[in-house]
Amino acid sequence: MQQDYDGGDLRVGEVLETADAYTRHAVTYRGGGLTISGILNLPAGDGPFPVLILAHGYIDPEVYTTGRGLRREQDYLARQGYAVLHTDYRNHAGSDDDPTNEVRLRLGYTEDVVNAVLAVRSAGLPYLDGERVGLLGRSMGGGVALNTLVVRPGLVDAAVIYASVSSNTVQNFDRWTRGQPGAEELTAEIVEAYGAPETNAAFWRGVSPVTYVDRVTEPVLIHHGTADVTCPIQWAYDTDAALRAAGKDVTLQVYDGEPHAFEARWQASIELTTAFFDQHLAPTSP
């Protein structure tokens, strides 16, 4: 999971939408030899605004459109004064293609998020505060966020994880790939490349963020509902326990009866998220 990252060349493009409290722009940035697309919700005013990078959950790239997947969060957080950059990831929307990403266990998405942060921090745009950057990931994007925290400790200032996939990559492989209808060819390619978890346990430990939680330096807030049938809440308990055992600053917020997408308690969760980012991305006193 270790490699060099070279994110940069953040370009804020056309206005896609104008709301009362923010404008929505198309954006691109570079990293790993690819151009990655996304959207930026930019609050009204001069800034500079603290920045939140959003990592979305799984949506079939064939039907995905730019900025899709976290619209509620994009809107709400921009209204609280955050510049919200939602990365589309490679192979999505206007991003360049990477035909190796599925066999590489989608680790390219982690590269895209790391490079998004680096692009923001190096952009030098007067309305973005590159010294105050948070990360929010949901479902598959929660796993991307966890990966980001362990491959580049200290890259962001705080992270929020919603209804995340497991921090043990074998559990994700077994739930969505191995043994699943239509995934036989991909399973065979992955096993040929790396070996099965039973025959090459060292590799699978090496690509699981739970293996490296001792590296995490940022405060982490985890939201998960007890009625989540997509990503079992036990995964949140396990990730929380691993972070706590490593002495990390982690808070697990459990929502009784909430499903994967969050419904009745979403407002409570996003208010808690905002307070968390407000605390950890507050301006440094002069």
pLDDT by residue (tens digit) across 123-172?
999 999 999 999 999 999 999 999 999 999 999 999 999 999 999 999 99
Q: Does 141 lie in the same domain as 113? A: yes
Which residues have a Cβ under 8 Å from the Cβ of 96 and sit 6 or more positions away?
34, 35, 36, 90
What distance in Å separates the CA atoms of residue 185 and residue 189, rounded to the nearest whole number? Answer: 6
Domain that holds residue 42: 8-164+208-278
Q: Residue 3 falls within a domain, yes or no?
A: no
Q: Does 122 lie in the same domain as 25? A: yes
pLDDT tens-digit series, residues 222-242: 999 999 999 999 999 999 999
26 half-sphere exposure, CB direction, 13 A CA radius? 12
Is residue 10 over pLDDT 70?
yes
User: With DSSP H G I counted as helix, E B as strand and the rest as coil, what are the percentages for the chain, rounded to 5?
Assistant: 35, 25, 40
Q: CB 219: neighbour CB atoms within 10 A?
A: 17
Beta-bridge mates of residue 221: 160, 251
Q: Does 67 lie in the same domain as 134? A: yes
Q: Residue 235 falls within a domain, yes or no?
A: yes
The pLDDT, as a whole number, for residue 237 is 99
Q: Residue 29 falls within a domain, yes or no?
A: yes
What distance in Å separates the CA atoms of residue 131 and residue 121, rounded to the nearest whole number? Answer: 7
Q: 53: which 2 tokens?
A: 């990078």
